[in-house]
Amino acid sequence: MAGTTVELDPEPPSPRRAARRDELLADLVALFLAEGFRAFGVGDLAARLHCSRSTLYLVADSKERIVSTAVNRYFRECTRFVEEKVDAERDPARRITAYLLAVAEALAPAGPAFRADLAAHAGAREVYRRNTAAAAARVRSLVDDGVAAGALRPVDAAFVGAAVARVMEGIQTGAVTEASGLDDAHAYRALADLVAHGLLER
Residues of the chain with pLDDT under 50: 1-10
Domains 15-65 and 73-199 share a fold: no
Class of the CATH domain delimited by 15-65 = mainly alpha
For residue 24, the model assigns a pLDDT of 96
For residue 4, the model assigns a pLDDT of 41
Calpha distance 156→162 (Å, rounded)? 10
Sign of CA dihedral 20, 76, 107, 174: positive
**Domain segments of the chain: what residues?**
15-65, 73-199
For residue 75, the model assigns a pLDDT of 93
Calpha distance 118→184 (Å, rounded)? 12
Q: What is the pTM of this model?
A: 0.80
Question: CATH topology for 73-199?
Answer: Tetracycline Repressor; domain 2 (1.10.357)
